[in-house]
Amino acid sequence: MAARPTWSGHLKLSLVTCPVALYTATTSTNDVRFHLINPETNNRIRMVPTDPDTGPIERSDLVKGYEVSKDEYVLFDDADFDKVRLESTKTISIDTFVDEADIDRLYWDSPFYVVPEKGVGAEAFAVIREAMKTAGKVALGCLVLRGKERQLALEVHGKGLVAYTLRAHDEVRQPEDYFDDIPNVKADKDMVEIAARIIGQKEADFDPTTFKDGYDDALREMIKAKQEGGKGVVEASEPDDTNVIDLMAALRASLKGTASTGAKKAPAKKAPAKKPTAKTSAGKKPAAKKKAA
């Protein structure tokens, strides 16, 4: 496996344990990234740690400090952090099982692949995985990750497990603080019906391969234009707010538009036409064969 594990330790279910490794399930390597450049010299700027009294200092010589009062710190080096050893530092202990629906989506955070180490750990991992699959529930446990103990939700995913870090309760802002001020407007029944029909016409299977970062694409377009000596301006107009008076007209126009779009797409779902014979009508060419993807 090419990727390096983010964490390695043990997965524990009661008295059954097995060595596992966690791998980050997502990547940002395809993102457009920028560096800070001095436009006078075109040199890339380097961030140098600097002591206001003694000047530049090597980052490796620095320690971390917790401010207990103004300009007063309790210092920690790597050895100090190693002394803080909880069970969850090296062990994911499964404590409880819950229904997935019981976990509010606001609490789900970063996903990690949980992979067993080779050898005897693979059999114990398989036992835990199959038991979880049989239970049909999400396992909850804890893990010290990146200097913080996080709650984990683990679920079966193929031959492995996926562990999601869960946000703590005090990390999630309460929706009431934002939704309570939304006015109580009674939606028109006919308008809701039309909107529901529009939604029905736009139903589709979930396909993440169709997701694209349009902003990244626009940035790449601008980068290419600048490389070729242009200004690289990329603009898109913002839609106007819907006029309440014209809301019904807008809904009807939207319904008509989605219906016509669906009608245009319909022929693509039909069975392919039979191959034309050698003789074709005058002025018409036989359809070209599609190349295999």
The predicted-structure confidence for 105-148, as pLDDT tens digits, reads as follows 999 999 999 999 877 788 899 999 999 999 899 999 999 888 88
Q: Where are the domains of the chain?
A: 7-27+84-171, 184-202+245-260
pTM listed for this prediction: 0.70
Q: Look at domain 7-27+84-171 and name its CATH class.
A: mainly beta
Going by C-alpha positions, the residue among 144, 136, 163 that lies closest to residue 152 is 163
CB atoms within 10 A of CB 12: 19
Going by C-alpha positions, the residue among 155, 162, 177, 157 that lies closest to residue 101 is 155
What string of pLDDT tens digits covers the 293 residues of the chain?
557 899 999 999 888 889 999 999 998 888 888 999 998 998 999 989 999 999 999 999 999 999 999 989 999 998 888 888 777 888 999 989 999 999 999 999 999 999 998 777 888 999 999 999 998 999 999 998 888 889 999 999 999 999 999 999 999 999 999 999 999 989 889 889 989 998 888 888 888 888 887 878 888 888 888 888 876 665 666 666 655 557 778 888 887 876 666 544 444 444 444 444 433 333 333 444 444 43
